[in-house]
Structure 1
Amino acid sequence: MTNKQRILIASLGGTIAMTKAAAPGLVPTLAPDDLLLRTPVLASLAEIETWPLAALPSASLGIAQIIALARGLRQRFAEGCDGAVVVQGTDTLEETAFLLDCLMSGDQPVVVTGAMRGSDAPGADGPANIADAVRVAADARSVGKGTLVVFDGEIHAARFVRKAHTISLAAFRSVGRAALGSVAEDEVRVSGCVGRVAPIHSIDPAREVPVALFRFAMGADDRILKCLPDLGYGGLVIEGAGGGHVSAGLVPAVRELATKMPVVLASRCPEGPVLRATYAYPGSEMDLLSAGVLHAGDLCGLKARLLLSLLLMSQDDGEDVAARFLARASGSPQPHPETIS
């Protein structure tokens, strides 16, 4: 291969970098260079650079860390890297990918991957996933497609990918649609595309405020909801039942919160849309939306929470946050990209 692409591998930790070592279970032990030694084919695929960022289980990652990662990736791209692969744990992989998709402004490919089995396990999937991710990051057809997730031979858009299984090697899938493509016989095959919205810039992590994620369950009361303002929360995402429904008893608290902070309505169902105009009873989607609750569009609760968190860090005007959330949740292009900080 000539004129190899410069691909950065940034490591945050996760199962892909874990072994059992002397512990009874998996713990972080491997640096990015160790991962390269376990995947010798990478040298033939691209000019590889490594960037060790953290050695954490992904449940311990935070939004501020991913904002810093995005800033660092923009700098590396400005210095000549052609693409990047981010490796991390799978528990929050879909959240990292979505955050990066919201934050990255250039056309250089960013691919997120990981592993379901530790590096010293029989049939460890990390080497194959890293190799596939590098192939995708170095492929010209990945340019301009935003952040992608490559896992178990499939290519997914960050907006739609979900972790759908706790232990399967095929743990990730694009919910409600087909994957964007695949990697088969060492060849990248792209069959779909996804629209991109303008990245969110001018974000100050020091202004981060917590955004609550409340999953409705039968018999749930409003005590948690009533506490949110006094606890310092700046927003709320409700995962309603079915098409976006809660009990009538929760409606007064939700209406009150919607006057104090952005409140978003998503669904706890893994597939299907949040409704807009089907049911009109107290606690239905029409009732909640009429109270000023924001529609999550095609975003699940996890990603709606991340989007709202980023917008709250970038703006002071609550109404503007609401308008920008609705535009981005619907996937509408933004007419005026914001200035990069």
Structure 2
Amino acid sequence: MAGRPSGGVVPRLSGAELAAAVPALAGFALDVRDALAVPSANLTFSQLYEVAEAASRAVKAGAAGVVITQGTDTLEETAYLLDLIWPHEEPLVLTGAMRNPTLAGADGPANLLAAVRVATAPEARDLGALLVLGDEIHAARRVRKTHATSTAAFASPDTGPLGHVIEGRVRVLTRPPRLPALPTVPDAPRAAQPGAAGAPQVAQPGAPGAPRVALHTVTLDDDAAAFLPGLARTHQGLVVAACGVGHVAAELAPVLGELAIRMPVVLTSRTGAGSVLTSTYGAPGSETDLLGRGLINGGLLDPYKARVLLRVLLSGGADVQRIREEFGRRG
């Protein structure tokens, strides 16, 4: 992002400009490439598959690791998607900034330098995709954005960071087991809808042939029972961000059970940390009731990551049994 005379910051800086703003990067052999100059909320699965393929080609050509910079709005989802499909031992490191360059104390340069150090460190090999901000190294599968503006916005509530960058040295303190990469099935190009006269064309919300996965967050006095039944006509999967350890109102339970007959429905917690349980509570709408109706236990995955995993599995043609097995392994 960079400033402009009015209206806020916009995506304007190139990769070369970002690197030039960090003198210490001169000590690394960098191949800097630009991919997409868009806000991260605009990114699509198709675009991220293309970025992953470009990163893979770079590693096959001899790169010790890859750093990807993007906006932080969807950084936790991007990191997890790339982690699911990254097959190499070389580190794939994502980073961003919470303070744009027009603000005092902008953190982008320091984050970029730390990310490059991690991407080139032997200690970071075979950890999958990593997220590096504030000198902390996080596993993509566990990290979350937990604050709208703080420079300490990214945390891994269930595990803590894997390590740190200390005085320029990469220290990996724990190495979680790595799961095999999932196959990627790129989406077809998105069709565009003509806008009003003189207006730009607007991309449709889903690519032709790409599975649509909805996310519903359960709330107090929820009215989802009125509109969720129609979801089976438009979507191929659903993630439910339920209360606490996996609870919904009793009237919603049979609706979700009926949907689970027609599509995979994944049960997660809206709390941001901790796991969906399996058999502690037994009332209608409890986790025991919902899992008994065929919902899939999302385990420790937050709703956003569960949606990414379900979307990738559906794109690869996975049936409900395979989806249940993968959530059991990765949740």
TM-score by length of 2: 0.91
Name the CA distance, whole Å, in 1 between partners of 2:138 and 2:329.
22
- Conserved? CA contact 1:110–1:148, under 8 Å: yes
SS at match of 2:222: coil
Match of 1:281 in 2: 283
Shift of 1:146: 0.7
Alignment RMSD, CA only? 1.2
Indicate yes or no: 2:134 matched with 1:124.
no
Shift of 1:256: 0.6
- Conserved? CA contact 2:99–2:107, under 8 Å: yes
SS at match of 1:49: coil
- Conserved? CA contact 2:132–2:138, under 8 Å: yes
Shift of 1:93: 0.4
Match of 1:4 in 2: none
Percent identity over the alignment is 42
SS at match of 1:238: strand
Deviations 1:16-64 (A, max 9, x none): xx122223311111000010111121111x2101121111111111112
Match of 1:21 in 2: 4
Match among 239, 242, 255 for residue 241 of structure 2: 239
Indicate yes or no: 2:118 matched with 1:115.
no
**50-59 or 101-110, which moves further after superposition?**
50-59
Q: How does 1:60-79 map to 2 (within 5 A)?
A: 60-79=42-61
Shift of 1:323: 2.8
- Conserved? CA contact 2:246–2:276, under 8 Å: yes
- Conserved? CA contact 1:58–1:93, under 8 Å: yes
Indicate yes or no: 2:142 matched with 1:160.
yes
What amino acid maps onto 1:225 in structure 2?
A: L
Match of 1:228 in 2: 231
| Structure 2, gaps ≥5 residues long | 189-208
Match of 1:256 in 2: 258
Shift of 1:172: 0.5
Name the CA distance, whole Å, in 2 between partners of 1:143 and 1:319.
32
TM-score by length of 1: 0.88
Deviations 1:170-192 (A, max 9, x none): 11011122211111211111111
Indicate yes or no: 2:35 matched with 1:32.
no
Q: How does 1:306-325 map to 2 (within 5 A)?
A: 306-315=308-317, 317-325=319-327
Indicate yes or no: 2:220 matched with 1:218.
yes
- Conserved? CA contact 1:58–1:90, under 8 Å: yes
Shift of 1:316: 5.1
Match of 1:13 in 2: none
Structure 1 residues 189 and 127: CA distance shift in structure 2, 3 A: same
Structure 1 residues 67 and 30: CA distance shift in structure 2, 3 A: same
Match among 95, 116, 120 for residue 138 of structure 1: 120
What amino acid maps onto 2:173 in structure 1?
A: S
Q: Whose relative contact order is higher, 1 or 2, with alpha carbons under 8 Å and at least 6 apart?
A: 1
Q: How does 1:130-209 map to 2 (within 5 A)?
A: 130-206=112-188, 207-209=209-211
Q: How many residues get paired?
A: 310
| Structure 1, gaps ≥5 residues long | 1-17, 330-341
**309-318 or 81-90, which moves further after superposition?**
309-318
Name the CA distance, whole Å, in 2 between partners of 1:328 and 1:156.
16
What amino acid maps onto 1:178 in structure 2?
A: G
What amino acid maps onto 1:28 in structure 2?
A: P
